[in-house]
């Protein structure tokens, strides 16, 4: 028995089969040809944050007010109304006078220098106490002040010599400052006080001038 195959149908089937095979092959080829995934582009290394530079600003001046400059020079405490074992420069407008007797323990006021506006006064105190220690001497001076806080002391340059300095809180929100030097014969203390009720240290620049220019004339 012979089976007759329709040539037309066979051709169609063959075409469809060939097309399917070609499509599958193309699909496989396409998958194989797909470019490999590229790694993400490398990012430039982030800049390493620089360390915070050390600050160059000076520490806060605190109670010593080391940010304040001495006043300009206008004259000198030397001779005149005051008999003194030392001398120092005075600021513009400040006047010199001899005080009345003002004992404070072994110390006695020898000279008064007043600001032109009356806001502050500088005094030189002298004690005929040979061989005294500057720190002990200035502690004795502080004992005569009305204070509202613990005094602060430091050793410091007084002109070209070394002495001891104190700063303390006084009345009416003011600050008192003084330095002391000693010689084989005497103790010398120079102090500054505010005289008004405004508080602060209005006489500080003039005091710093006195401290900077202080010179012993008797030893």
pLDDT band at 43 (very low <50, low <70, confident <90, very high): low
* DSSP at 81: T
Look up tokens 């005091």; give the residue: 207
Q: What are phi and psi of 135, to 5 degrees?
A: -65, -45
pTM value? 0.71
The answer to whether position 185 is within a domain reads yes
First to last CA, the chain: 154
Percent of the chain at pLDDT > 70 equals 72
Category of 137 on φ-ψ map: left (φ > 0), alpha (ψ -120 to 50) or beta? alpha
Comparing 33-42, 109-118, 142-151, the range with the smallest average pLDDT is: 33-42
What are phi and psi for residue 100, nearest 5 degrees? -70, 170
pLDDT band at 27 (very low <50, low <70, confident <90, very high): very low
Residue 122 placed within a domain: yes
Q: Quote the pLDDT of residue 61.
A: 60
Query: How many residues in total does the chain contain?
Result: 219
Asked, for residue 209, whether it belongs to a domain, the answer is yes
Assess if residue 199 is contained within a domain: yes
> Is 102 contained in some domain?
yes
Is residue 155 one of the residues assigned to a domain?
yes
Distance of CA 67 to the CA centre of its chain: 8
Q: Distance (Å, rounded) from C-alpha 123 to C-alpha 185?
A: 20
**pLDDT tens digits, 162-215:** 999 999 987 777 889 999 999 999 999 999 999 877 778 999 999 999 999 999
**Domain assignment of residue 122, given as a range:** 70-216
What is the count of structural domains for the chain? Answer: 1
On the question of pLDDT at 109 being above 50, the answer is yes
| pLDDT tens column, 59-95 | 456 889 999 999 999 999 987 788 899 999 999 999 9
Q: Is the dihedral of CA 198, 172, 212, 90 positive or negative?
A: positive
User: How many other C-beta atoms are found inside a 10 Å radius of the C-beta of residue 141?
Assistant: 22
Q: Is 37 domain-assigned?
A: no
Q: What is the dihedral of CA 207, 209, 210, 212, to 10 degrees?
A: 120
Q: Is 21 a member of any domain?
A: no
> Which CATH number belongs to the domain containing residue 80 in this structure?
3.40.1000.10
Q: Is 52 exposed, middle or buried (0-12, 13-18, 19+ CB in 10 A)?
A: exposed
């Amino acid at each position: 028995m012979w089976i007759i195959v329709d040539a037309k149908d066979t051709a169609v089937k063959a075409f469809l089969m060939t097309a399917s095979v070609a499509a599958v092959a193309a699909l496989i080829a396409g998958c194989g040809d797909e470019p490999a995934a590229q790694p993400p582009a490398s990012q430039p290394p982030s800049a390493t944050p620089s360390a915070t530079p050390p600050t160059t600003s000076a520490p806060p001046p605190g109670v010593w007010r080391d940010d304040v400059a001495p006043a300009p020079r206008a004259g000198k405490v030397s001779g005149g109304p005051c008999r003194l074992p030392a001398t120092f420069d005075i600021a513009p407008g400040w006047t010199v006078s001899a005080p009345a007797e003002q004992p404070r323990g072994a110390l006695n006021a020898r000279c008064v220098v007043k600001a032109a506006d009356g806001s502050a006064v500088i005094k030189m105190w002298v004690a005929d106490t040979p061989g005294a220690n500057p720190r002990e001497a200035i502690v004795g001076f502080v004992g005569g002040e009305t204070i509202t806080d613990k005094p602060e002391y430091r050793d410091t340059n007084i002109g070209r010599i070394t002495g001891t300095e104190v700063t303390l809180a006084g009345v009416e929100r003011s600050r008192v400052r003084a330095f002391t030097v000693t010689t084989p014969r005497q103790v010398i203390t120079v102090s500054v006080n505010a005289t008004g009720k405004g508080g602060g240290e209005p006489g500080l620049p003039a005091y710093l001038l006195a401290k900077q220019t202080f010179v012993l004339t008797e030893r």
